[in-house]
């Protein structure tokens, strides 16, 4: 239907956008991108097409990353007031490992939402974490969690931040917060076990590893870590038993 309409009028940005949605739903991301490019050429500030641009998987066959980048750049110059556009462009740049541009546009998204953008704050924090800016990372995660204290992504990345810095107590406390509302969160169970083991809290480490293996029984790393924690726990218990005074 949309193709027939375009054969009559090719300058209809709505029809081009709708055809892009159809192509995207069928997995033709390259064709969808080309239709969005036509829609945005006609109307650069067309909100629906700009948001749909964020749904294009740049890893799919026939998708031009350069075209995506140019469409974002042209549109951002026209409609900077859309925080979703800035967020999507930042996410695109993050995937390309262009971290300085990603940081810039996540900050724009946060400013346009007057600070109320936990997703952008969390993503910003994760870039800071990966690039070693730990103080800025923690501030960003904490800012995201002020809007939603059960925002799993921000909590988990905050736990990773603590873990990465060797702050195992804070890391374990944060993993526990996630497990309180998502008891089958595999990464929190596995990483929580590792944090507990680093604190020589082998009892909790064993419990967390066992719970992780119930979810993923074939996870070799968790199984090896469980074996190590059980061995260390047994050694400590044996040493404690030998140090107990003999009964009269």
Note the pLDDT of residue 44: 82
Q: Report pLDDT for 238.
A: 64
List C-alpha distances in Å: 244 to 90, 203, 230, 238, 241: 61, 20, 21, 10, 5
| pLDDT attached to residue 78 | 67
User: Which residues contact residue 130 at a Cβ distance below 8 angstroms, ignoring those fewer than 6 apart?
Assistant: 99
pLDDT digits (tens), the chain, 248 positions: 445 544 444 678 899 999 999 998 999 999 999 998 999 888 888 888 888 888 888 888 888 999 988 888 887 766 657 888 889 999 999 999 999 999 999 999 999 998 889 999 999 999 999 999 999 999 999 999 999 999 999 999 999 999 999 999 999 999 999 999 999 999 999 999 999 999 999 999 999 999 999 999 999 999 999 999 999 988 887 665 555 555 55
Q: What is the pLDDT of residue 3?
A: 52
Query: Spelled out in words, what is the top-level CATH class assigned to the domain 166-243?
Result: mainly alpha
Return d(Cα 44, Cα 138) in angstroms, integer.
37
Q: What is the pLDDT of residue 148?
A: 92
pTM, rounded to two decimals: 0.80
Give domain limits for the chain.
Answer: 166-243
Question: Could you give the C-alpha distances from 90 to 87, 114, 120, 171, in angstroms and in order?
Answer: 5, 17, 9, 28
């Amino acid at each position: 239907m949309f193709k027939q309409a375009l054969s009559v009028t090719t300058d209809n940005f709505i029809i081009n956008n709708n055809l892009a949605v159809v192509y995207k739903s069928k997995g033709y991301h390259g064709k969808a991108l080309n239709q969005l490019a036509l829609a945005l050429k006609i109307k650069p500030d067309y909100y629906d097409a700009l948001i749909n641009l964020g749904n294009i998987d740049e890893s799919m066959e026939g998708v031009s990353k350069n075209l995506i980048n140019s469409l974002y750049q042209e549109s951002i110059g026209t409609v900077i007031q859309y925080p979703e556009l800035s967020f999507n462009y930042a996410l695109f740049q993050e995937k390309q490992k262009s971290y300085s541009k990603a940081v810039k546009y996540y900050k724009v998204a946060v400013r346009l939402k007057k600070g109320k953008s936990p997703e952008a704050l969390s993503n910003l924090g994760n870039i800071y974490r990966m690039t070693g800016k730990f103080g800025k990372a923690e501030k960003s995660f904490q800012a995201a969690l002020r809007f939603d204290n059960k925002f799993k992504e921000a909590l988990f990345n905050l736990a990773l931040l603590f873990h990465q810095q060797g702050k195992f107590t804070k890391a374990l406390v944060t993993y526990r917060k996630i497990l309180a509302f998502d008891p089958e969160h595999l990464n929190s169970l596995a990483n929580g076990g590792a944090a507990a083991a680093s604190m020589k809290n082998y009892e909790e480490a064993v419990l967390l590893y066992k719970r992780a293996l119930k979810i993923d029984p074939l996870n070799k790393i968790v199984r090896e870590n469980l074996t190590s924690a059980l061995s260390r726990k047994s050694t400590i218990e044996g040493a404690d038993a030998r140090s107990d005074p003999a009964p009269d």
